[in-house]
Amino acid sequence: MATKLPASNKLTSVMSTNEETATFSQIIEALLFSSPQSLTVQQITKITGEKKIRKIRSAIDELNAFYIAHDRAYFIQNVAGGYQIRTDARFHKWIKKGRIIKPLQLSQPVMETLSIVAYQQPITRAEIEEIRSVDATYTLRTLLDKKLVKIVGKKDVAGRPLLYGTTRFFLELFGFKSLSDLPNPEDADIISDTDTV
């Protein structure tokens, strides 16, 4: 007599059967959907075994075209040297209202310090303090705790002070592909909308 499978086992069985019918773009979509950080082409290559970078980028373009054609609420963005599924800006107020994602709250002094690090990196605490004319210990600690800034080395001067730079998370949070995408300081304040994710 056949044993009746629990519902969860039936689902697993169906999913296992359909594994082989997944398209390459579906595999990419699943990887990006399940990753909390952006994935680089190299990471996708390592996971999928696909060596042709053109095929990976083509699959991402195909997915984005599908999202646009079907008016989806998300898209794939080239950010922090990789790719990440992001929510369309049209829906930020609803996400914020539903408190689905806790907004990143940064005080004005912390934002000022982050801007200085972003544009002047690598930079020491003393150099930040010289620009801001106030102690930067607390603001740097806050930025380190929030993973927006990291220690990138030591300056080759007396005392060997620590050098600070921005992280990959900083690029992801503000939607930059790389540091070269930072706007000119005169044109825009990069830290104007701190609760956008």
Q: Is the pLDDT of residue 149 over 60?
A: yes
First to last CA, the chain: 54
Q: pLDDT, tens digit, for every residue of 58-92?
A: 999 999 999 999 988 888 988 888 898 888 878 77
How many other CB atoms are found less than 10 A from the CB of residue 55? 15
Q: Which of 28-32, 160-164, 182-186, 190-194 has the lowest mean pLDDT?
A: 190-194
Question: Whose structure tokens read 């104007």?
Answer: 192
Q: What is the mean pLDDT of the chain?
A: 80
139 touches 131 (CB < 8 A): no
Q: What is the pTM of this model?
A: 0.57
Is the C-alpha dihedral spanning 16, 17, 19, 22 positive or negative? Answer: negative
For the structural domain made of 108-181, what CATH number should be given?
Answer: 1.10.10.10
Domain extents in the chain = 22-92, 108-181
Residue 76: strand pairing partners: 85
Q: pLDDT, tens digit, for every residue of 40-54?
A: 888 999 888 888 889
Task: Could you please state the CATH topology (level 3) that the domain comprising 22-92 is classified under.
Answer: Arc Repressor Mutant, subunit A (1.10.10)
Residue 150: strand pairing partners: 165
